[in-house]
Structure 1
């Protein structure tokens, strides 16, 4: 049995909104555990650890899925926490909510989220709440007015390293709040050693305050059988052979280099399509059009946003998965692809090289020709493709939800003792 952390109380926990909100929850909770539909008045803020998911919004991105993995891992580690969450995503949390107490907040429009992040928690629980001993903010931004001891997850430092890749409002938002949140935190969680070094060096943080806790892929990401792969190919109109990239379309992902490398493939490989799946960030519409423009050689397919349940078969059927991003905090789509047995090619970004290790092709430069050669090698030699796929599966097995939960609990305990 996993040991219970010192802040965990074993009593049952439930959602505690007012009776009208409870009635709405009962009608809309979907897959949420029935325990979470029992209601009683909230007299005080519950004690223990609070995990802040107020940033979450549909459709879920990597950050939301990382938060849900953290909740699952905490449950495996024997920890029960309070989860601050928008009420409208409760049904989407699924089994991640089990074993935890949900504290729902009314959803607000995107322009008002900053106000909720900074004011809703102090307003609801007070600046000096007695009930909470640790607050874990997963988005990299914390309520600056609260005095709850803070654990802060920092996904990446794009706003600092590649500021021009962000909208001016996003640069202002992250540039103001993230550094202040970092300095406020007792302990900081990052997903790679590369980001750990950046946090320490850029913000002059004591190394013992910054902890590397690697992410994990969802349990749905496993190699899929041929019939399932064929069904997804038919659904999206894909040929038998395709190169896959699952990424948000923006400048930082360097998808233009991938398109240029694909256009240089030899004529005997033109039956292999280039498939790009992912939503387009605001301001990157021109890049998306350029990426999927008709090709004289080969076939380029832009799928846009792909539902999560279709991704495992999409990964499994790919002849190669390519992630040429110039900067990442971890690279979760790469781990998902590896978990499905797809051979991977990644850029020389430090976090991606750290993730892949010897289990994939790590490009040494930003050369288009080098990427073309790497693609040609995987497409031409079946034995090499199978070898890389096996290495990818073995490497992916090192990243588990149990490890994520146990190491997160360790950070909570250190924050309590700081």
Structure 2
């Protein structure tokens, strides 16, 4: 009988355990430091669990800026249609929403976790809750067991390390997995927050707390040069900015800030209009509201709370009648609407990030099997690996695919 220990009962660890348990002669132990499995799964997709995306393989790779190409083999083993089929078979019906995002029809992450828990029970996986792995024991560069926080040693022929990264430590991802790999000689790429809100010192931004903007284009400038841009939705907060496109842009920004590089954003509030078209739109509005003050003449163009701020940044008196605005002032207003600048001082802490950027160097892992190239019998899966993607189901798919691949190969080796 082969004894397989999986460390971490998140998305990757659960899939690894279920796959490894398919062989009747395998004894599979799933160690989890929390009092229940799937803590992070419970909060993904705002509690709805965005399990995958229906995008094709090339699109998936593009949406995983952190070593996406490393996942080619894992995705070929177990991709989005396999995930959807897997959940449908175990009784979790799914649906596809905007952007190709796949959710359970119930919109309840707890349904996903509870069903996976039942699957582990049916597969006779031994679940050890409230059990923190402190050391992976090896001899002659081969896995022999796992030592827990209470000093107990569990023998093992194979260990699958799926203990997560360092984001949301309350869910169990406190960096312990990275530490366990480091002790064994694996190179750890520096950890940074990914999919994380950004901070600014600008008071006007904080005064817009709670205001969401749709269909805007945000451009990132690093050391004065445009480094990225994205179209979509964002939101102002009491500390800065967040929302889908901000989170997606945040990975590269966090890395740049760690290098002490200057970063600022520009927000194009009307990206569908050229400067000429926007100017024409302004002239129509100001003709319509000719006898109103400027602060009331832009109600068709912008959210009410944003109007006085735009006027202030464009150096236009909000009390000024719309029909008295000069051509020069109108051009300045166009420029402000298309280039609303926000200096970024820092990202929110790693503990608040949805995903960790960094982890075990992928060059030290066989992408076809997820086995360590340094330690025989050691496999990796999930966020502990230096792989991270954008929002939209890409990260969970990566976790499921790595977990499946690690579990299958650990079982077959």
TM-based fold match above 0.5: no
Higher helix fraction: Structure 1 or Structure 2? 1
- Which has the higher relative contact order, 1 or 2, with Cα contacts under 8 A spaced 6 or more apart? 2
TM-score by length of 1: 0.29
Q: Which one has a bigger Cα radius of gyration?
A: 2
